Amino acid sequence: MNTDLSNRKCIITGANSGIGKETTLGLAKMGASIIMLCRNEEKGENVLREIKNSSGNQSVEVMIADMQDYDSIRKFVENYKSIHNKLHILINNAGIMKKKRETNNLGHETTLATNYLGHFLLTNLLLETLQSSAPARIINVTSKSHKRGKIDFDNLMLENNYGRFKAYNNSKLANILFTYELAQRLEDSGVTVNAVHPGAARTNFGREFSERTRKFLKLFKRFTISAEEGAKTSIYLASSPEVEKITGKYWFKCKKVKSSKDSYNREIQRKLWEVSKDLTSL
């Protein structure tokens, strides 16, 4: 791809590992100015050196935020806005799956807080900057597993019946509901928003899995793709002129695909938006 992104400013969450790292490298090679949003400075700086060396692009930097901690996200945005006045590409990529139920300082279940609520807040706090930089693009990294997710407004934080897959699938459905609702709200604004399933990619995602689970998953290795391959759709949506005006869609292998029936439910989309606003004190 010969796309030139040298005038484009980009934030990528979870940029120090797996799909986020490969997305950063791909866009850095196209000349984008990139802010790698990482929670761990040392990890971020190590990968930053690699990215600069491999891409030759020196306009890449690390900024710190913890996506489950809303105060830290507010600080990040404040800091970002004090340095930069433009933002053209926001890639909401960071994600986790927690084996045991944990909560953030507000009592929100950590998987939902990290994968969805933190990104809901980050995106909303950056919306004005994105709109004033239009054309701009938002890409939400979700998963095919959203199809097994369910938004139960009476039990969003899975207080009584936590399961790691349940928490993860619900958070990934929330990513898509958010994408569709935001696309409606941003109609004709010059800012597009799309969701991506990267495919089953070999990354550090299973770091919390037990040795036994990891051994079991290795049996399926031949059905998996590299992290580089997993980053392709995010890179495509962030950079290709073909999709400049396309918004409110769900993508896999650089093609529009259908998401689950629940994800298109306007009532759930609207309600989730309102509930998320309250939860993050937006």
Q: Does 96 bind ligand NAP (CB under 6 A)?
A: yes
Tell me which of 8, 39, 98, 119 binds ligand NAP, using CB under 6 A. Answer: 39
Name residues contacting ligand NAP, limited to 14-33 (CB under 6 A). Answer: 14, 16-20
Query: Vertex 93, ends 184 and 268: CA angle to 5°?
Result: 35
Q: Which of 27-35, 55-63, 93-101, 150-158 is the region at the interface with ligand NAP (rule: CB under 6 A)?
A: 93-101
Name residues contacting ligand NAP, limited to 234-263 (CB under 6 A). Answer: none
Establish whether 236 is a catalytic residue.
no
* CA nearest to 260, candidates 171, 161, 115, 148: 148
**What angle in degrees, to the nearest 10, is found between the helix axes of 164-185 and 266-279?**
100
Integer angstrom CA distances of residue 234 from 155, 170, 194, 276: 31, 21, 9, 25
With 0-12 / 13-18 / 19 or more C-beta atoms within 10 angstroms meaning exposed / middle / buried, residue 197 is buried
In 3-state terms, what secondary structure has residue 37?
A: strand
Q: Does 276 bind ligand NAP (CB under 6 A)?
A: no
Specify which residues 90 forms β-bridges with. 11, 138
Q: Closer CB to ligand NAP, residue 65 or residue 133?
A: 65
User: Which of 70, 80, 116, 168 is an active site residue?
Assistant: 168
Q: Closer CB to ligand NAP, residue 95 or residue 149?
A: 95
Residues taking part in catalysis: 168
Task: Report the interface residues with ligand NAP, using CB under 6 A.
Answer: 13-14, 16-20, 39-40, 43, 66-68, 93-96, 114, 141, 143, 197-198, 200-201, 203-205
